[in-house]
């Protein structure tokens, strides 16, 4: 059994182009697992994937009267509380990250976008950039959210400004992931259709395979109980109280008993309790994007050393037989998210 996901604009015809611009290249037709015709989303698109303040997915089309104008925008460093207050209501995960740097995009003094860079997994950063120190020389783009009514192409400009600042402070490379796997809540409502990383493609990131396949614990509202949160609970690290309280108060898990092992509580009171409603989802892995930072001109401007960044050649199977000095073929880009979700 499969659940058909649909996008809020028609896929049975090419995306319409604004007046006085060249029409987008016709997307090639493909067939998904249910056997229905489906057009791939083009890699260069006038559509921007956004979310409203109540996490409803929306697609914004850039039209002539609302073209992006950089003169209207400013980028500033912001604190985590400000970033989280903007991100959590809008991001499909319903959560923020323990960020090292957060940037706010302001339009006429109003916060309309947030980009937060973090070390969600030091191992993931070391795997991608084995010679860089996670958290100082390499960072992960953990959250990137733009208000739903901003004009198209806002993301590309904002992303470039963030990377320029990070490079000026000694960050040599950025890692990011795009989750192509749809999320559907317990009522059958599509929370997230999946995304292929158009922002990173537009910014010149290289595609380097996928992250590890894993089984995710999906909660009834479509969000995941991620591995970092579960590890906090199992090891009773900082933040475990808030995570446990959320599972009890929001999802109905019973409180942990005195003397109960946290790992046993996660299994018995969360995963295996039907009243909590956890669904085990076999996730195929996220698209992994890599971006060494800086140009020679920027290095001179910021007085920063521009050093070559080593990318792990084990990230993609097709790199295994390359000569040591051969350039990495960082492509092709994925053109569409995974549009079909196997029902549990």
The pLDDT assigned to 153 comes to: 81
- Phi, psi torsion values for 255, nearest 5 degrees: -65, 155
Q: Which two tokens stand for residue 320?
A: 């295994």
The pLDDT assigned to 173 comes to: 97
Residues with Cβ within 8 Å of 219's Cβ and at least 6 positions away in sequence, in order, are 225, 251, 276, 277, 278
Strand partners, 155: none
Q: Put residue 80 in one of left, alpha, beta given phi > 0 → left and psi -120 to 50 → alpha.
A: alpha
- Is 142 in contact with 99 (CB distance < 8 Å)? yes
Is there a cis peptide before residue 332, judged by omega within 30 degrees of 0? yes
| Side-chain half-sphere CA neighbours of 173 within 13 A | 24
Q: Where are the beta strands (DSSP E) in the chain?
A: 2-4, 29-31, 37-39, 47-51, 57-61, 73-78, 99-107, 110-118, 138-146, 173-178, 183-184, 190-192, 206-210, 214-218, 224-225, 279-283, 287-292, 340-342
Tens-digit pLDDT profile for the chain (344 aa)? 333 333 333 333 333 333 333 333 333 333 333 344 334 444 445 566 666 666 665 666 655 556 788 999 999 999 999 999 999 888 877 778 888 999 999 999 999 999 999 998 899 999 999 999 999 999 999 999 999 888 878 999 999 999 999 999 999 999 999 998 888 888 888 877 888 898 899 899 999 999 988 899 999 988 889 888 899 999 999 889 989 999 999 999 999 999 999 999 999 999 999 999 999 988 889 999 999 999 999 999 999 989 899 999 999 999 988 998 899 999 899 877 775 444 33
The pLDDT assigned to 63 comes to: 57
| pLDDT tens digits, 194-211 | 888 988 998 999 999 999
- Is 114 in contact with 103 (CB distance < 8 Å)? yes
List the one residue out of 42, 46, 36, 51 whose CA is nearest residue 5.
36
- Is 59 in contact with 45 (CB distance < 8 Å)? no
Dist. CA 193–CA 183, nearest whole Å: 7
The pLDDT assigned to 58 comes to: 61
User: DSSP letters along 158-175, please?
Assistant: HHHHHHHHHHHTT--EEE
The pLDDT assigned to 292 comes to: 97
Cα maximum dimension of the chain: 69
Strand partners, 141: 117
Stated pTM of the model: 0.77
């Amino acid at each position: 059994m499969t659940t058909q996901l649909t996008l809020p604009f028609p896929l049975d015809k090419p995306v319409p182009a604004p007046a006085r611009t060249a029409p987008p290249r016709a997307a090639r037709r493909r067939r998904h697992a249910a056997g229905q015709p489906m057009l791939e989303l083009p890699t260069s698109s006038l559509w921007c994937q956004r979310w409203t303040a109540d996490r409803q997915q929306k697609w914004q089309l850039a039209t002539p009267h609302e073209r992006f104008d950089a003169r209207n925008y400013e980028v500033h460093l912001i604190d985590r509380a400000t970033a989280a207050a903007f991100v959590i209501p809008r991001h499909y995960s319903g959560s923020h990250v323990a960020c090292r740097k957060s940037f706010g995009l302001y339009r006429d003094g109003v916060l309309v976008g947030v980009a937060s860079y973090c070390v969600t997994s030091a191992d993931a950063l070391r795997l991608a950039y084995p010679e860089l120190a996670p958290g100082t020389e390499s960072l992960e783009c953990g959250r990137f959210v733009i208000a739903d009514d901003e004009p198209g192409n806002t993301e590309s400009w904002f992303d470039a400004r963030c990377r320029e600042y990070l490079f000026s402070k000694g960050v040599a490379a950025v890692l990011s992931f795009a989750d192509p796997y749809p999320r559907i809540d317990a009522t059958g409502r599509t929370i997230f259709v999946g995304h292929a990383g158009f922002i990173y493609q537009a910014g010149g990131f290289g595609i380097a395979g996928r992250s590890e396949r894993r089984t995710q614990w999906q909660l009834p509202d479509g969000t995941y109980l991620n591995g970092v949160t579960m590890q906090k609970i199992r090891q009773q690290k900082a933040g475990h109280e808030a995570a446990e309280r959320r599972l009890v108060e929001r999802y109905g898990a019973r409180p942990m008993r005195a003397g109960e092992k946290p790992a046993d509580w996660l299994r018995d009171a969360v995963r295996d309790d039907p009243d909590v409603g956890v669904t085990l989802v076999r996730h195929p892995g996220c698209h992994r994007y890599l971006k060494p930072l800086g140009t020679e001109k920027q290095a001179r401007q910021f007085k920063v050393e521009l050093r070559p960044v080593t990318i792990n050649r084990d990230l993609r199977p097709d790199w295994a037989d390359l000569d040591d000095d051969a350039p990495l073929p960082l492509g092709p880009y994925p053109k569409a998210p995974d549009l079909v979700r196997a029902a549990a």
